[in-house]
A and B are shown apart, each in its own frame.
Chain A
Amino acid sequence: MATVELTFSALPAHVRTARLVATAIARRTGVAEALLDEVRLAVGEACSRAVEAHRLHCPGEPIRIELKDDSGRFEVTVTDAAPSDDLKAVDSSDGYRLVDAMLGIVPEMPGLGIAVIAGLADDVEVSPGPNGVKIRMSWPAAPTPNGLAAV
């Protein structure tokens, strides 16, 4: 198992860096080219959500992202240290309800990022806890003997 871990401050500019790193490692791990856009978007959504939550609740705390190659899967876990207000508001599996919410009187769109992740990742687990939220997602990767695909 090969693992890369990053921590970054809750600044919007760092989300792009996290996306780039995740996409590069996904490619190296053997995730199919056709899935790389999904990885990039889903990781960006998870990191954006974490950044917004930290900026509201704990701007000084870092966000952690773990990327690993585990038994033929590329797995990404984004962990924040903020309350999970947005996760209560929306059924993330139903985009049409989201649209109704967005076009209604509520100006904010809590949960939209989670809905996008759910629509993109092959396997998603959102774990709200007392000390923050953990979003784990994974995609199939080409298994190789040393944990890294040939490049």
Chain B
Amino acid sequence: MDLKLDHRTEDRLTIVEVEGEIDVYTAPRLRELLIDLVNKGNFHLLVNMEKVDFLDSTGLGVLVGGLKRVRAHDGSLELVCTQERILKIFRITGLTKVFGIYASVEEAKEAHGRDK
């Protein structure tokens, strides 16, 4: 499956919906979207990975790049993910300690609201 991307803003949180495969072929599109969002002043991003079928290190690199960009503006980039096969790659690389990872968009929004 190719990559489908969509985004919306709720309060101060920009939710990025990702569906399909994030790999060396498709990751540049996600990178462009994240850069564009940051350039337009969206510094609190929540990437919903629940419909992601496949994620490789190229995709991880894009997420880390996005995190570095929002942190430069005191922002945040957090994830929604409950799929074990996707979480595994975050654990292998130690990135579970870097990203806030939530079980649902609602849970992430609540946590974000508390942090505001």
B95–A109 touching, CB < 8 Å: no
A41–B21 touching, CB < 8 Å: no
Query: Does B85 interact with chain A (Cβ within 8 Å)?
Result: yes
Given contacts A48-B58, A103-B64, A103-B68, whether A16 and B95 have CB atoms under 8 Å apart is no
> Which interface class (under 10, 10 to 19, 20 to 34, 35 or more) fits A?
20 to 34
CA distance A62 to B98 in the complex (A): 37
Interface size on B, residues (CB 8 A): 22
CA distance A44 to B98 in the complex (A): 24
Residues of A within 8 A of B67 (CB): 103
Stretch from B4-12, B37-45, B86-94 forming part of the interface with A:
B86-94
**Which residues of A in the span 88-128 have a Cβ within 8 Å of any Cβ on B?**
95-96, 98-99, 102-103, 107, 109, 112-113, 115-116, 119-120
**B interface residues with partner A (beta carbon < 8 Å):** 21, 23-25, 54, 56-58, 60-61, 64-65, 67-68, 85, 89, 92-95, 97-98
